[in-house]
Chains A and B, each alone.
Chain A
Amino acid sequence: MKELALLSLLEKNARMEVKDLAMALQESEENVLNTMSDLEKRKVICGYHTMINYDHLNKDDVMALIQINATPEREYGYDRVAANIYKFPEVDTMYLLSGAYEFLVIIKGKTMQDVANFVASKLAIIESVTGTSTYFVLKQYKNNGVAFVADEDPNDRLVVTP
Chain B
Amino acid sequence: MYEEYLSQKVKEIKPSGIRKFFDLASQMEGVISLGVGEPDFATPWKIREAAIYSIEKGKTFYTANQGLLELREEICKYQKRRFNLDYDPIKNTIVTVGGSEGIDIALRALVNPGDEVILLDPSYVAYMPGVQLAGAVPVTITLTQENQFKLTPELLEAAITDKTKLLLLNFPNNPTGGFMTKEDYEKIVPIIKQHDLLVITDEIYAELSYDEKFCSIASFDEIKDHVILISGYSKAYAMTGWRLGYVLAHETFIKAMNKIHQFVIMSAPTAAQYGAIEAMRHCDSEIESMQQSYMLRRNYIVEGFNNLGLETFMPQGAFYIFPCIKSTGMTSEEFCEALLNDQKVACVPGTAFGDAGEGFIRVSYAYSIDQIKEALGRIELFLNKIRK
Name A's B-contacting residues (CB within 8 A): 5, 8-9, 13, 16, 20, 23-26, 152, 154, 157-162
Q: How large is the interface on B (under 10, 10 to 19, 20 to 34, 35 or more residues)?
A: 20 to 34
Complex CA distance for A143 and B38, rounded to whole angstroms:
28
Minimum CB–CB distance for B30 against chain A, Å: 11
Task: Give 17 new A-B contacts, CB below 8 A, not counting A20-B369, A161-B35.
Answer: A5-B292, A9-B296, A16-B369, A20-B373, A24-B297, A154-B40, A154-B42, A159-B22, A159-B25, A159-B31, A159-B33, A159-B35, A159-B36, A160-B33, A162-B18, A162-B37, A162-B174
A158 with B296: CB separation less than 8 A: no
Chain B, range 20-68, C-beta contacts under 8 Å to A: 21-22, 25-26, 31, 33, 35-38, 40, 42
Inside 8 A of A158's CB, which chain B residues have their CB? 22, 26, 36
A24 with B296: CB separation less than 8 A: yes
Q: Which of A16, A24, A159, A161 has the most CB of B within 10 A?
A: A159
Chain A at the B interface: mostly helix, strand, loop or mixed? loop
B296 with A160: CB separation less than 8 A: no
**Interface membership of B348, Cβ < 8 A:** yes
Closest to A5 in B: B296
B300 with A24: CB separation less than 8 A: yes
**Interface membership of B303, Cβ < 8 A:** yes
A16-B369, A24-B296, A24-B299 known; A159 and B42 CB under 8 Å?
no
Minimum CB–CB distance for B353 against chain A, Å: 8
Complex CA distance for A157 and B339, rounded to whole angstroms:
21
Contact of B303 among A9, A23, A157, A160 (CB under 8 A): A23
Inside 8 A of B22's CB, which chain A residues have their CB? 158-161
Minimum CB–CB distance for A152 against chain B, Å: 6
17 contacts between A and B (CB under 8 A): A13-B370, A20-B369, A23-B300, A23-B304, A24-B299, A157-B38, A157-B40, A159-B26, A159-B36, A160-B22, A160-B33, A160-B35, A160-B36, A161-B18, A161-B22, A162-B37, A162-B174
Complex CA distance for A26 and B298, rounded to whole angstroms:
10
Inside 8 A of A13's CB, which chain B residues have their CB? 369-370
Contact of A26 among B16, B38, B303, B352 (CB under 8 A): B303
B25 with A160: CB separation less than 8 A: yes
Complex CA distance for A87 and B288, rounded to whole angstroms:
39
B25 with A162: CB separation less than 8 A: no
Closest to B22 in A: A160
Minimum CB–CB distance for A63 against chain B, Å: 25
Q: Which of B25, B303, B352, B369 has the most CB of A within 10 A?
A: B369
Chain B, range 80-132, C-beta contacts under 8 Å to A: 124-126
A154-B40, A157-B36 known; A162 and B299 CB under 8 Å?
no
Complex CA distance for A162 and B22, rounded to whole angstroms:
10
A8 with B33: CB separation less than 8 A: no
A159-B35, A162-B125 known; A24 and B369 CB under 8 Å?
yes
Inside 8 A of A162's CB, which chain B residues have their CB? 16, 18, 37, 124-126, 174, 352
Inside 8 A of B292's CB, which chain A residues have their CB? 5, 8
**Interface membership of B248, Cβ < 8 A:** no
Complex CA distance for A159 and B375, rounded to whole angstroms:
14
Complex CA distance for A132 and B40, rounded to whole angstroms:
45
Closest to A27 in B: B299
Complex CA distance for A23 and B373, rounded to whole angstroms:
11
Complex CA distance for A161 and B21, rounded to whole angstroms:
9
Closest to B298 in A: A24
Inside 8 A of B373's CB, which chain A residues have their CB? 20
Inside 8 A of A157's CB, which chain B residues have their CB? 36, 38, 40
A158-B36, A159-B22, A161-B37 known; A26 and B299 CB under 8 Å?
yes
Complex CA distance for A13 and B26, rounded to whole angstroms:
30
Inside 8 A of B296's CB, which chain A residues have their CB? 5, 8-9, 24-25
Complex CA distance for A86 and B29, rounded to whole angstroms:
51
Complex CA distance for A78 and B253, rounded to whole angstroms:
67
Inside 8 A of B257's CB, which chain A residues have their CB? none
